[in-house]
Structure 1
């Protein structure tokens, strides 16, 4: 083999190692790391959901949190300092969603931007032939380009509150899962066609019933389980029912058993059976 051929083989092998072998080895090393005791104490204090997690789920959460902290960039906006503690709280919520899945579900996630509180975001609109851009206050956003934008004050309050029925972190990271296979449409990657067809049937029925009740922003629907904001679109419905699945799982299971079962199968988790799952 000529020198040129040897060089080409070396380049190919190097690229293969860099793309496939090295990332796997790095992830294996990171998963094996001890989750710092100070982080455990912090999450026990600041993340109400963390206190309810069974040991096996908590262990996987620790591994996912370490991986997300290693692979995703965090940026403070409007002079906010994104401290280690803030990163850990955000990454732990993202990691919780995929404890029964894989961190690979966040392979498009590149950056998390954090503002001190609500922030102004440009929104494009069109009315017939007239189009423009307006600005509105936001608490969080998820972009299919791999960015999540968050307001710290709101997320921190919700994360620490064991009685909350909303959680912007769960909501926005659910959008990231939904956006993994393209545009946000309320259906994350589901595997077989039969599973996808059942998902569409169950979710469409529940969404249409919520739509029939009407919506005017945030607020519980008549059974007090699913936020009316979910009637906005199938994408928002998936994000809202994800919040309910983790925050009020017993109520969701009792009110919408087919919906709960779909989420249970997708997430690979059964939060209605976790300790101290709220009944009301």
Structure 2
């Protein structure tokens, strides 16, 4: 078969394919709830499913909209970063139109899932590291629930810089991070393993870091902790695992990219992660240096107080 015949065969198959009766309608979850992915997908991505998963997402989005950027909400563009199967996206759609929302994930299969279940939402696939395809200053808000609690230090730094690029002054980024509570749980799991009393969950948790007590000390000194994980399709252990980020690290890293921490909701108040609200500023180098100096002093005072 010649190349021309092969190409003609492909074109003919396209022409002979099934014809839709009509174009898909734009989904509106307030009118008709979209289909959910299988329970195993929900559990894999968020550790919960159905009502428990959505209630957690509702608390996150409710807290975000209590602190939402100023301006005409009907004109805002929002990026749901690390959107997975789209539970945060679904909650955003209770307040925003589908065309206002961009959902982005490293997993192409999840992008396909969103196209199928949430037609009208702008779903794209991003690479593990920036840049993205978005223009500078595109977004008024970014949500990233249970994303930075898994990213390596390099990935955390690079994505914070990318969010500075794709947002504009006054925009806000809503993320979650793990705090020392998580490392205390890992320490407990390691103690259970040493005593021969660990179940499968504790055994897996114990492997996150080699020495949880040392990691706790490092975290309390403002150090970023990353470990555990394993290759899982597009989520490679080089950048994806378990990550605990102290406030000093977040303030320093995001501050270098023009953000200030507007709110820090500790672990346990909304869910088992801390929620951080970051506001994009437009600061000159002198003002930024002064702010960094104040944060360094504040961080030192907090460590001394411990």
Q: TM-score, normalized by length of structure 1? A: 0.30
Structure whose residues are more often helix by fraction = 1
Q: TM-score, normalized by length of structure 2? A: 0.28
